[in-house]
Amino acid sequence: MTDSVGDSDDRRVAVVLGTRPEIIKFAPILNECEKRGIECLLIHTGQHYSDGLDQVFFDQLSLPEPDYNLEVGSLGHGEQTGQMLTGIERILLDETPDVVLVQGDTNSTLAGALAATKLHIDVGHVEAGLRSFDREMPEEINRLATDHISDYLFAPTEESRQYLERESVGGEIVVTGNTVVDTLYQYRDVVRRESDVLDEHDLQPGEFYLLTAHRAENVDNPESFEKLLTGVARFAERTGRDVVYPVHPRATSGLEEFDIEVPESIRTIEPLEFLDFLCLESEAALAFTDSGGVQEETCILGTPCVTLRYSTERPETVHVGANCLAGLEPDDICDAAETMVGKSGDWPVPFGDGNASERILDTVAAEEETDVEALEAPT
């Protein structure tokens, strides 16, 4: 990404990512780096190892191939994070970037931040300050640890900034908005032109529900998984609509291992490409999810959402009326869905104006200018 339009910036940036949400949320930052002529080293951990969840997103978002792919794949938390840490450290020692950007709350995020900070390389955490206040979620541990070792904390909202200030983090806090808004604003018109997923699956806009479920606490627990499916199916049957469920590989493993029968009203399909999934999110009457990213995306797209969890690190979606926490009990899922279905989607978007990536890179560039001024200042 070095031969680009614009004045070249000497500050070298490395981006560490490994999952579908990270690819989507880093896309506008990578594009902005290219626009500004900033040299950007792209390190892929391989945390998502399926082409359906990985390479196709690079292709559809017109992103460059990673400079490195560690191909770590699916392992236990400790082994996976350890292999990432070892691989990222080796790359950073060879490449010596000035700042490493990580995003969100995955094991890739934690490994990238740890590797960089131990080598005294600045760390910028994109989407800092999210809190579910549920330490049983491994993602919450990753968020907390990453925030407290980062030099730049790019908070998506005022609420996330306040959480960081209460914890007295040491880095510089900048409210930028969420880069997912940048991505959705940039690609929503492309969806209308290029996606034919509705025709492929014989779906009518506003006449189906969307389900995503992949979190370990849901799909690795047979009782939780069955209750989740029962609640969603019960509401679908009550309202006479089908549910479309693109099944994550982890969920597929759970269905097979626990011999769980998916109710007839829930139609399982293969994982979708980015543009097709975005189309389903846009056109569904209601989304059921345990994904933080889907909570954000549906809020931005104006689709009502029911979250199949007992806590959320995206409370802004609840505050504006776009989302409702249901938990996993079937009756509670039905009650939450009844509350949300039919909402108009005219709530305010709480995640910024679509210019988060510019603010993030402005901050990184400003630090370089400060450093240069300090070196040139008279003693």
The per-residue pLDDT for range 252-276, each reduced to its tens digit, is 999 999 999 999 999 999 999 889 9
Listed in sequence order, the residues at least 6 apart from 133 whose beta carbon sits closer than 8 Å to its beta carbon are 140, 311
- CATH number of the domain bearing residue 372: 3.40.50.2000
Q: Say if 188 falls within a structural domain.
A: no
Contacts of 40 (CB under 8 A, 6+ apart): 1, 12, 13, 14, 15, 30, 33, 34
Host domain of residue 372: 9-178+352-376
Mean pLDDT of the chain: 91
**Residue 144 CB neighbour total at 10 angstroms:** 16
What is the pLDDT, as a whole number, of residue 51? 53
Q: How far apart are CA 185 and CA 202, in angstroms?
A: 26
Q: What is the rounded average pLDDT of the residues 215-227?
A: 95
Instruction: Cite the active site residues.
Output: 214
Mean pLDDT of 306-335: 97
What Å distances lie between residue 43 and 58, 60, 145, CA to CA? 13, 19, 20
Same domain, 158 and 254: no
Q: Are residues 234 and 288 in the same domain?
A: yes
Does pLDDT of 50 surpass 80?
A: no
In the prediction, which pLDDT does 3 show?
39
Q: Is residue 137 part of a domain?
A: yes
DSSP character at residue 348? P
Provide the percentage of residues in the chain whose pLDDT is more than 70: 92
CB 191 within 8 A of CB 281: no
Q: What pTM does this model have?
A: 0.88
Asked if residue 123 belongs to a domain, the reply is: yes
- How many domains does the structure of the chain reveal? 2
Query: Which residue would you say has higher pLDDT here, 299 or 369?
Result: 299
Total residues found in the chain within this entry: 379
Q: How far is CA 370 from CA 337, 375, 376, in A?
A: 51, 9, 10
Residues 27 and 158 in one domain: yes
Q: How far apart are alpha carbons 107 and 139 in whole angstroms?
A: 8
Look at residues 106, 98, 141, 143 and name the one whose alpha carbon lies nearest to residue 123.
98
Query: Which tokens is 22 given?
Result: 């990270």
Is 140 part of a structural domain of the chain?
A: yes
| The most confident of 17-26, 92-101, 132-141, by mean pLDDT | 92-101
Q: Within the chain, how many helices (H) and strands (E) appear?
A: 16, 13
Give domain status of residue 183, yes or no: no
For residues 152 and 49, state if they share a domain: yes
Residue 240 maps to a domain: yes
Within a domain: 4: no
Q: Same domain for 321 and 372?
A: no
What is the pLDDT, as a whole number, of residue 375?
A: 31
Query: Tokens 């940036």 appear where?
Result: 13
Whether 45 and 171 share a structural domain: yes
Token pair of 379 as six digits: 């003693």
| Residue 213 domain flag | yes
> What are 164's two structure tokens?
């960081």
154 plus 216 within the same structural domain: no
